[in-house]
Amino acid sequence: MSNFVFAGKDTVELAKKYGTPLYVMSGDMINDKCDEINESFLNKYDNTMAVYASKAFLNLAMVKMVAKKGIGLDVVSGGELYTAHKAGINLENVMFHGNNKTASEIAMGIDLGVGRFVVDNRWEMYLINELAQEKGKKVKILFRITPGVKSDTHDYISTGQKDSKFGIPIVEDVIVDVVDEAMKLSNIKLMGLHFHVGSQLHDNSSHLRALDATFGILDKLYDKFTFVPKELNVGGGFGIYYNKEDDVKPLSYFVDPIMEKISGYFEKNGLDRAKVIIEPGRWIAGEAGITLYKLTGKKEIPGIHRYISVDGGLPDNPRPALYGAEYEAVVANKYGQEAAETITIAGKCCETGDILIKNIQLPITENGDYLAVMSTGAYNYSMASHYNRIPKAAVLMITEGREDIIVERETYEDVISQDRVPSWLE
Ligand SMILES: Cc1ncc(COP(=O)(O)O)c(C=O)c1O
Chunked mean pLDDT (size 10), the chain, 426 residues? 94 98 98 98 98 98 98 98 97 95 97 97 96 98 88 60 71 83 97 95 96 95 96 98 95 98 98 98 98 94 89 97 96 96 94 94 95 98 97 98 98 98 96
pLDDT of residue 132: 98
Judge contact between 210 and 191, C-beta under 8 A: no
- Catalytic-labelled residue, pool 301, 350, 421, 425: 350
CB distance 76 to ligand 1 below 6 Å = no
Segment 266-276, tens digit of pLDDT: 999 999 999 99
CB distance 280 to ligand 1 below 6 Å = yes
Angle at 411 between CA 406 and CA 413, to 5 degrees: 130
Q: What is the DSSP string of 382-403?
A: GG---GGGPPPPEEEEEETTEE
CB distance 56 to ligand 1 below 6 Å = yes
Judge contact between 379 and 55, C-beta under 8 A: yes
Domain residue spans of the chain: 5-23+288-416, 45-283
Model's pTM, two decimal places? 0.95
- Which residue lies with its CA nearest to atom 16 of ligand 1? 196
Active site annotation includes 350: yes
CB distance 80 to ligand 1 below 6 Å = no
Q: How far is the CA of 137 from the centre of ligand 1 (A)?
A: 28
Segment 144-187, tens digit of pLDDT: 999 877 666 666 655 655 666 777 877 667 889 999 999 999 99
Residue 36 CA to residue 156 CA, distance in Å, equals 28
In this structure, what DSSP letter does residue 40 have? Answer: I
pLDDT of residue 48: 98
Residue 11 CA to residue 89 CA, distance in Å, equals 32
Q: Average pLDDT over the chain, rounded to whole?
A: 95
The CATH number of 45-283, from 3.90.1150.10, 1.10.760.10, 3.30.70.120, 3.20.20.10, is 3.20.20.10
Fold of domain 5-23+288-416: Lyase, Ornithine Decarboxylase; Chain A, domain 1 (2.40.37)
- Domain 5-23+288-416 matches domain 45-283 at the CATH topology level: no
- Beta strand 9-10 with 5-6 is antiparallel
